[in-house]
Amino acid sequence: MDPNLLQELLNLYSWGIASLIVIILAAIALFYQNKFGINTYYYFYIIPVIIFVIVRLQFFAVFSKETEFMEFIGSVISFLVTFSLYRKMVGVK
């Protein structure tokens, strides 16, 4: 088996799981917003999922700087919205 193919398959698998986790977090944010009436901005979770899908559809060259940058941006946005949800859920102002 080609090492590059194996690395690409593992990369595809890991970002697929990351997208699934972000979707689950969006569902949690939507539930929290509906249950407690606090605006959680759950719709911002779609941005990292779209970025991860764009990267996985290979609009950029494999393992290029553009791909890595897009993955980084998606990860940062995912972290920021998750941190915002955490702060709202624990009551930090």
9-51 per-position pLDDT tens digit: 887 888 889 889 999 999 999 999 999 999 999 999 999 999 8
Position 62 scores a pLDDT of: 66
Into how many domains does the chain fold?
1
Tens of pLDDT along 52-74? 888 877 765 666 788 889 889 99
Range of the domain at 70: 3-90
**The pLDDT of residue 75:** 92
DSSP state, 64?
-
Question: What pLDDT is stored for residue 11 in this prediction?
Answer: 79
Contacts of residue 78, Cβ cutoff 8 Å, sequence gap at least 6? 18, 22, 25, 45, 48
The SS3 call for residue 63 is: coil
Global pTM value: 0.83
In the predicted structure, residue 82 carries a pLDDT above the cut 70? yes
Q: What is the pLDDT of residue 59?
A: 62
Q: Residue 89 has what pLDDT?
A: 93
